[in-house]
Amino acid sequence: MPSIRRNPKRLLTTAIILALDLIVLAWFAFPLLWMFLSALKTQAGMFTMPPRWIFEPTLANFQILLDRGALLYFRNSLVASLGAVVVATTLGSLAGYGLARGRFRHTKDISWWIITTRMAPIPAVLVPLYGIFRGVGLLNTLPGLIVAFTTFSLPLAVWLMMSFFRDVPKELEEAVWVDGGTVFQSFWNVALPLVTPGLIATATLSFIFAWNDYLFATVLTSGPTQTLPVVTASLQTMHGVVWGQVMSMGTLIFVPVLLLGVAIRKYLVRGLTLGAIK
């Protein structure tokens, strides 16, 4: 700090960076703050001009959502998202380890082919998935939604976990092999614990993709199997948008992701910086 004070240029640069950081923070945080406050206002109170920052909060909007079965849709979103996370991280870890440690030809070609499936636009995948799900009876079911979410989460999970495992020194695993251990034992006891931050980062990204999904859920589910984003879109009626309920539903969608990010923030940062895409 004293060195910065003695250097006016560094002080000016630091001040500019801090000012830019505050501007970016305000740009992203203000809409969320407005959503939280609006969820606690009445319909009339949301549109008063100038806006009132001090008001008597009400939970009427949340009560209406509970009466409309919001807990059921919340459960659907949670079950489908966590199911996709479990499948994607499990298969992604095994496949990523195989690509990182396997001795076979065209490893780079295979890994590149896997990640290119993630680049396909969702509408291009929806029609084939819809036909397959209808044929096997997975339409309007949570297991079908888990499979759909995994379709897009798994390629990224494989790519990320492969990168993380490549950063693990192979000598640590060879020590297990010398002692008579199997490849799976070296994977489970050595490699996987070392990439735990990367595994958490992969699981978090998979959860966010599934939790925020709209297209898969709106085409492949209906009625009691719908998720929160789909129900939120239905709040636009022929009489207009029910803004109080929309803001409350947006709060229900965002708060779990916020709490998850706060709970694992240090692991998430370490995980995202653990490996490099190669």
Q: Are 220 and 139 a contacting pair, CB within 8 Å?
A: yes
Least confident of 30-39, 238-247, 249-258: 238-247
DSSP E strand boundaries for 22-154: none
pLDDT in tens, 147-169: 999 988 999 899 989 988 988 88
Does residue 276 surpass a pLDDT of 50?
A: no
User: How far is Cα 110 from Cα 119, in angstroms, rounded to an integer?
Assistant: 15
Place of tokens 């070609």: 109
Domain ranges (residues) in the chain: 2-39, 61-272
Does residue 274 surpass a pLDDT of 70?
A: no
Average pLDDT rounded to a whole number, residues 234-245? 76
Give, in order, the Cα–Cα distances in Å from 266 to each of 169, 200, 201.
23, 10, 10
Q: What is the CATH number of domain 61-272?
A: 1.10.3720.10
Calculate the CA 186 to chain-centre distance: 29
Average pLDDT rounded to a whole number, residues 1-6? 54
Q: Are 194 and 176 a contacting pair, CB within 8 Å?
A: no
Residue 163: CB atoms within 10 Å: 20
User: How far is Cα 216 from Cα 239, in angstroms, rounded to an integer?
Assistant: 27
Identify the band that residue 275 occupies on the pLDDT scale cut at 50, 70 and 90: low
pTM of the complete model = 0.83
- Among candidates 265, 258, 267, 254, which has minimal Cα distance to 77? 254
pLDDT in tens, 20-43: 989 998 888 888 888 888 888 887
